[in-house]
Amino acid sequence: METNLQILVDKNETFITAIKKNEGLIYKIAGIYTNDIEDRNDLVQEIIYQLWKSFDSFSQNSSLSTWMYRVAMNVAIYHLKITRRKVLTVPMEEKFLDFHETDNSNIEEKLQAFRQHLNNLNLLDKGIVILYLENKSYEEISEIVGISISNVGTKLSRIKEKLKTQISKKL
């Protein structure tokens, strides 16, 4: 019979493997919903903490990445309000992922461009676009967002129109 400690160790190992496998997902969501590196690192910490907290309630009905997208996006919208208030967070001891200090500094520019395009969309549309860009199927988007598959299609068509209008206005 497994001891409680062993169960905890196993859970921890499973969680760490899951995070490592999907860390790109977390960084991308954090990058879209925040405007600077400090905020992004705070959000990454918070997403990982919330994933850990709710790891027990993760049901195998949905895939791990579907669950992670859902939690990450839910945490991100609340983080928006919290970080605007400039309250304290605990700094990381180790150097955290910093796009500026890598040879891929243009990621930051690209994320900036994305934010500019997506900022005029409401939070629901923004979430749908992110999942679309992540090559999620309409079914997966429907599962993560919690709207019907047909509604996903309708919304994406409207979003495309909105983005076209935005560009034509700028031109």
Partner 1 sequence: MELDDLKNTWEDVNNQVKTQQNLTTKMINQMTQTKYYSSLKKIAYPEIIGAIICFIGAAFIATNFSKLDTTFLKCAGIISILLLLTLPVISLISLRQFNMPGDVNKPHAETLKKFAIQKIRFHKFQRINITLSYILLVTIIILFSKLFGRNSISDSKYFWTFSFSLGYIFLLFFSKWVSKNYNNALRQAEELLKELES
Residues that bind partner 1 (CB under 8 A): 12, 15-16, 19-20, 23-24, 27-28, 31, 45-46, 48-50, 52-54, 57-58, 67, 70-71, 73-75, 77-78, 81-82, 85, 87-90, 92-94, 96-97, 99, 102, 104, 106-107, 110-111, 113-114, 117, 122-124, 127, 129, 132-134, 143-147, 156, 159-160, 163-164, 167
Task: Say how far residue 72 (Cα) sits from the centre of its chain.
Answer: 4
Instruction: Pick the closer one to partner 1 by CB: 4 or 146.
Output: 146
Instruction: Pick the closer one to partner 1 by CB: 3 or 170.
Output: 170
Residues in the chain, total: 171
Kind and range of the H or E run holding 76: helix 64-84
Q: Give the shortest CB-94-to-partner 1 separation in angstroms.
A: 6
Q: Which of 45, 123, 38 is nearest to 83 (CA)?
A: 38
Longest dimension (CA), the chain: 68
**Rounded to the nearest 5 degrees, what angle is found at the Cα of 23, between the Cα atoms of 71 and 39?**
70
Tokens of residue 12, six digits: 């921890």
Instruction: Pick the closer one to partner 1 by CB: 1 or 171.
Output: 171
Instruction: Pick the closer one to partner 1 by CB: 2 or 103.
Output: 103
